[in-house]
Amino acid sequence: MLTRIIVLYRNTLLLDWSEVKREVDRYGSGEPWHLRLRNGPQICLEAAKGMTNLQVMVTEADEPSFLVLGTSPLAAAYVLAVHIRRQPASILSRTHFELMKAAMAISRQRYSSSTAQNSLHKSLDALERYVSQLLGDMALQSSVEFSTDPVENHLTPMTIPNPLESPPLSWGSFDLLSWDWNDLVPQT
């Protein structure tokens, strides 16, 4: 179920969210699917987080499970990476990054055959470095501060860019629209 949700909504992560909402409101107002489509990016993110949490539980239990057949930590890592790229200043970006790294670790473990290992590991390492660098740049701009005096603890004002505004993408040769997981991991 979670994989289907990610497959259905993952492309909405790449679009301008304000435009998606505007068009869905324009053509789908009053329709039963209106809110599901309007909230596609958030639904996709929640599915990726849920899928990663399930994968971590199954992996840590170290018992056989059919869950691994129906879920893909690679898809979850992709969704989390794109979401972090879209909203790097979000308070939850670091949490999403840790979930992304967990999904990548499970993927590395699951697809550890020698033929797939090199290209998959290189791709995952490059993606992890990119997101880490992106968040590192944002950490330098962190504006949340706490006083040592408990009476004076407060948050300083934060300037967060509009999450609905599309930031310029600079993924270099990392073409999101034509990247296929099956190219990285050969099917057996």
Domain ranges of the chain: 2-142
pLDDT tens, 16-67?
878 888 888 888 888 888 888 888 888 889 989 998 998 899 888 887 777 6
Q: Give residue 184's pLDDT band: very low, low, confident or very high (50, 70, 90).
A: low
Q: Check residue 154 and give its pLDDT.
A: 45
Mean pLDDT highest for which of 65-69, 120-124, 125-129, 139-143?
A: 125-129
- CA–CA dist 184, 188 (Å, integer): 13
The residue-averaged pLDDT of 128-143 equals 76
Q: Check residue 128 and give its pLDDT.
A: 94
pLDDT tens, 163-173?
555 555 454 44
53 exposure class (CB count in 10 Å sphere: 0-12, 13-18, 19+) = middle
Q: Give residue 155's pLDDT band: very low, low, confident or very high (50, 70, 90).
A: very low
Closest CA to 3 of 65, 56, 73: 73
- CA–CA dist 52, 161 (Å, integer): 27
- CA–CA dist 164, 168 (Å, integer): 12
- CA–CA dist 111, 181 (Å, integer): 12
| Pairwise pLDDT comparison (145 vs 8), residue with the higher score | 8
Written as one string, the DSSP assignment of 103-132 is HHHHHHHHT--HHHHHHHHHHHHHHHHHHH
